[in-house]
Amino acid sequence: MQSPQINPIDLVTTRSQELEIVAEVSAIITRITNLDELLQTVSDLTKERFSLYHAHIYLLSEDGKMLQLAGGAGEAGRMMKTYDHAIAMDRHQSVVAQSARTRQGVIVDDVRKEPNFLPNPLLLETSSEMAVPIIANEALIGVLDMQSKAIGHFTTDDVRTKTILANQIAVAVQNARSFATTQQLLTENEILRVASEAINAANTFAELAKALAPVIPSSRTVLSVFENYDLNNASYFETTTVVLGSEDNNQGVSRFPIAYFPSPFG
């Protein structure tokens, strides 16, 4: 039986429509600065706009050994993220890992005939799958994975179109990460500024301890100040100690013989 002829005009129309969807999704995600929201949004939009069974995004771990699910469409995607779903980079039974290793788009026309397909109990209706790498400045960021209920759903044109989308995702991810880093620095600088003003205004040791508490990471830190001693003549010295992080910044005074500390006192 002769396969049906595909009208070239229909192909051009379809590709044009998909490029419009890519532009639409890209415009939406570039305005999102929260990484989790960004990845969830792009997963949901990819599934919805391209009429797919499922779509999700994996991000490469810092050590480069794992692909961690960072966003997934629908309830299945949210459940997998809750369970910290991840795939090892060197796992051969995985279309996602294969795409990440080769840095190329990978298509599986019929997952039931594909030995490298990694079945997911939450996505039992998957019949075909496509994964494309998310790359920025030649560095692998992660993988965009898409699944369909239809056998042979994905084509090489889909790889090209979704690669454009993946490139936009890479830019958006980098921007979101940069924004988070900038916000963290601004927060830390503001904490230091406020603490510096409080330290300069402190008149008592308790006030000094209270000023230092926000900039000391430990939840319970013992802060001691040596005082009330003469380096040449004293036989003992006193320390005032405050336990930072306690409910009332517990404070106490202790006396120690100088002989306990022969240097630099002796």
pLDDT of residue 47: 96
The whole-angstrom separation of Cα 86 and Cα 91 is 11
CB 254 within 8 A of CB 241: yes
Residue type present at position 107: I
Starting at the edge strand found earlier in the chain, the sheet holding 139-148 runs: 86-88, 66-72, 54-60, 139-148, 128-136, 106-108
Give the model confidence (pLDDT) of 100-120 as tens digits.
Answer: 999 999 999 999 998 777 788
CB 68 within 8 A of CB 56: no
pLDDT of residue 233: 57
Give the model confidence (pLDDT) of 24-60 as tens digits.
Answer: 999 999 889 999 999 999 999 999 999 999 999 999 9
pLDDT of residue 188: 76
By mean pLDDT, which of 39-43, 95-99, 192-196, 204-208 is the weakest?
Answer: 204-208
pLDDT of residue 174: 92
Question: Going along the chain, which residue ranges are E strands?
Answer: 54-60, 66-72, 86-88, 106-108, 128-136, 139-148, 221-227, 236-244, 251-257
- Is 256 a residue whose pLDDT tops 50? no
The stretch 229-251 carries a mean pLDDT of 52
**Which of helix, strand or coil describes residue 37?**
helix
pLDDT of residue 155: 94
Q: What domains are there in the chain, each with its CATH number?
A: 8-182 (3.30.450.40), 202-265 (no CATH)
- Is 72 a residue whose pLDDT tops 90? yes
The whole-angstrom separation of Cα 237 and Cα 163 is 70
Give the model confidence (pLDDT) of 170-191 as tens digits.
Answer: 999 999 998 888 888 877 778 7
Give the residue from 120, 116, 170 showing the smallest Cα distance to 147.
120
Q: What are phi and psi of 113, to 5 degrees?
A: -105, 5
- Is 1 a residue whose pLDDT tops 50? no
pLDDT of residue 266: 44
Starting at the edge strand found earlier in the chain, the sheet holding 236-244 runs: 221-227, 236-244, 251-257
- Is 159 a residue whose pLDDT tops 90? yes
- Is 134 a residue whose pLDDT tops 90? yes
